[in-house]
Copies of this chain bind each other. A is one copy, B any other.
Amino acid sequence: MSKVFDYAEVAKHNTAESCWVVLYGNVYDVTNFIPEHPGGSKVILQLAGTDATEEYDPIHPPGILEENLKPEAKLGTIDPDTLPSAEKSPVETGEAVQEGPVDLENLLNLDEIEEVATKQISHKAWAYYFSAADDLGSKNFNNQVYRQILLRPRVFVDCVKCDTSTSFLGHNVKLPIYVSPAAMARLAHPDGEHGIAQACERYGAMHLISQNASMTPEQIVADATPGQVFGWQLYVQNERHKSEAMLARINKLPAIKYICLTLDAPVPGKRELDEKSKNVASNLPTPSSVQGSGSVSTTSTDAKTPAAPKAMGMGQSLFWGTAADLTWKTTLPWLAEHTDLPIVLKGLQTHEDAYLASLHAPQVKAIILSNHGGRALDTAPPAVHTLLEIRKYCPEVLDRVEVWVDGGIKRGTDVVKALCLGARGVGIGRGALYGLGAGGTEGVARVLEILKAETETCMRLLGVERVDQLGMQYINTRAVERDIYDGPAALERPSLWAMAKAKL
């Protein structure tokens, strides 16, 4: 029988030399784990000697504790009567501020849902979701570029029927809209990724699960219906065996139909809002992303696994351990060794890379044009630019692989424009998380309901019945096309391909 501790006893172990924490009623000695914590040592030390459950729970999937701590680290249980009454303010705890039930039907568009979610969720969660690289230029442009495109409605067309169904990689879905991989859903709502999956089921939408989900893949797909389509996002780890173990786990889940390899964020972008949010929670100054590269030293140029910084934003801590050494030549064969699932490459931002990816069909079955929601590199091009580049310089890509896009989608008209440009589907990241924040599973469902209805209205008013009928004749892209890249690679196509293939 396990030992029972008084809170006063736990509270004494609040240093790096002896660091205890209470989690889910158990008392752990995490002293030895401090230097290994992916999120940095500082965040643990801030909670040393306290009940850390509220901080820990929404950002760690079950099982992580057991994976990382040796059995002897568990010292016993806490006497609940000795726990101090919870007096932390919502801001301190980083917990959601519930303002009473939200009437989702009164929220008519994704901006309104974001507005409500912003009030409902904790500042820390909001900062993590809302943040993007540097000055948020790409994040904002991702959306605005859709507004630069005009629609061309045809009239006198029977538009009684309207069918938004399509397929991804041969799997039928009811919507050309899918949920993009976005981390830490339980920060927004306890329903978490499972709730997203449930909402997707209701609308026949595909769900691409984040590797950094706050629930395990098994939990997320637990209630999947037959025919429901999932993908799983992979960030390859420096410790490849960890990634291999995850792939083995995923291979056993038949609901997951493909592996999506994220390429647009081999190192974390600079999300200042996310970094700053830690300060709000802790009232302590924290070393920032900037310090990661520190003063001039040789370590920053050749250290394969840099020491984790003392503390950092959530976005950075999630990146800890992610491999930055992936290449066309080495990574795809390695993947083929560990899974037979088709590969989707996420984060392509140039027509050159789209072309290179297309040379890897059929292992690669789809590519996702994405700048990581503007979170990786500010002033990176929006997917619309890359799509127009592909149409201009190597349209054959569209025949060889499916092209999906994400970033900036807020309206059904945005969805339709992307499809007209040749995208097979569009991903929604923040939208789904804000839906979750606004109303849990029902909030995500509301997001999908709104986008589906807007997409149908747009298709009908264009005079289009099926998504496969959408095409360039339904949009006017003049205002965007004059901004598309026409630099050296484009001008010297043969040498481009030579150069490009040299990288293979």
| Chain A residues at the B interface, C-beta cutoff of 8 Å | 103, 105-106, 108-109, 134-135, 137, 147, 149-163, 174, 202-204, 263-270, 272, 275-276, 279, 285-296, 300-304, 324-328, 331, 345, 347-350, 352-353, 356, 371, 376-381, 385, 411, 413, 449-450, 452-454, 456-458, 460-462, 471-473, 475-479, 482-489, 503
Contacts and interface: CB of A to CB of B under 8 A. Distances in A.
A341 to B, nearest CB: 19
Given A153-B376, A326-B156, A105 B413 contact: no
Contacts of A457: 267-270, 289, 293, 377
A449 to B, nearest CB: 6
Contacts of A471: 488
B462 A155 contact: no
B473 A267 contact: no
A159 B371 CA distance: 17
A108 B275 contact: yes
A309 to B, nearest CB: 11
A341 B484 CA distance: 45
Contacts of A485: 150, 152, 476, 478
A456 B269 CA distance: 11
A301 B486 contact: no
13 contacts: A105-B290, A108-B272, A108-B289, A135-B411, A150-B381, A150-B385, A151-B377, A156-B326, A158-B325, A160-B325, A293-B456, A476-B485, A477-B487
A349 B155 contact: yes
B160 A453 contact: no
A331 B159 CA distance: 14
A82 B69 CA distance: 72
Contacts of A352: 154
Contact of A106 (B285, B326, B331): B285
A159 B266 contact: yes
Contacts of A348: 155
Copies of this protein in the complex: 4
A286 B103 CA distance: 10
A45 B376 CA distance: 53
A287 B105 contact: yes
A147 B134 CA distance: 12
A302 to B, nearest CB: 6
B103 A285 contact: yes
Given A159-B266, A204-B296, A331-B156, A380 B487 contact: no
**Smallest CB-CB A-B distances: 10 pairs:** A155-B263, A476-B485, A293-B453, A377-B461, A158-B325, A290-B453, A108-B272, A267-B460, A156-B328, A160-B324
Contact of A488 (B161, B449, B472): B472
A469 to B, nearest CB: 12
A104 to B, nearest CB: 9
B462 A377 contact: yes
A264 B134 CA distance: 32
A487 B475 contact: yes
Between A135, A150, A350, A352, the greatest number of chain B beta carbons within 10 A of the residue's beta carbon is seen for: A150
A78 to B, nearest CB: 35
Contacts of A105: 285-288, 290-291
Contacts of A300: 162, 456
A431 B453 CA distance: 31
A158 B324 contact: yes
A276 to B, nearest CB: 7
Given A157-B503, A291-B105, A331-B156, A174 B385 contact: no
A270 B353 contact: no
Contacts of A454: 134, 270, 290
A296 B155 contact: no
A328 B347 CA distance: 44
Given A134-B411, A159-B267, A268-B457, 6 more contacts: A103-B285, A105-B290, A150-B483, A159-B325, A161-B302, A300-B456
Given A203-B296, A327-B157, A449-B295, A381 B151 contact: yes
A413 B381 CA distance: 13
A390 to B, nearest CB: 13
